[in-house]
A = this chain, B = another copy of it.
Amino acid sequence: MVAIADVQAFLDETFPLSPNIVEAVGDRQARIRHPVDHTHLRPGGTVSGPTMMALADSSAYVAIFSEFGILPMAVTTSLNINFLNRPAAGVDLIAAAELLKVGRRLVVVDVRIYSDGNAAVVAQASVTYSIPPRSQA
């Protein structure tokens, strides 16, 4: 079982520019908060696609830690994202990630991004990570 504080410390050290906050990790799931004041906006005033792609990728990474412990060398092999609804203005984004498949080498993660307090899904992503052989991990 991995502790939230340990995951947060790892992320802060590894990705010092990232404002993401780990709210939950465990049971093949993770929930990550992206504070809106750190959000890159695009024309139209909405959160940019790349901000949401990075958030989807990070939340999948952390969900994998719930199963394997902190695993720096896990790498994304593919990511598919659909942008569904415009995020609410001035509201944090929340990413909920859940492992759909845990294989020996590949893990597939379903991610849903919401505006905090809103039920509408802002974006849905499927993210595949490659898990390093144990000796490399």
Contact = CB atoms under 8 A, between A and B. Distances in A.
Interface of A: 14-15, 17, 40, 42-44, 46, 49-50, 53-54, 57-58, 72-73, 75-85, 100-101, 105-106, 108, 110, 121, 124, 126, 128, 130
A82 B43 contact: no
A44 B57 contact: no
Contact of A50 (B54, B85, B101, B121): B54
Given A80-B126, A105-B105, 5 more contacts: A49-B76, A53-B53, A77-B106, A82-B108, A84-B101
A83 B78 contact: yes
For the complex of A and B, 5 pairs with smallest distance between CB atoms: A50-B54, A84-B101, A43-B72, A49-B76, A53-B53
A43 to B, nearest CB: 4
A49 B50 CA distance: 10
A76 B115 CA distance: 18
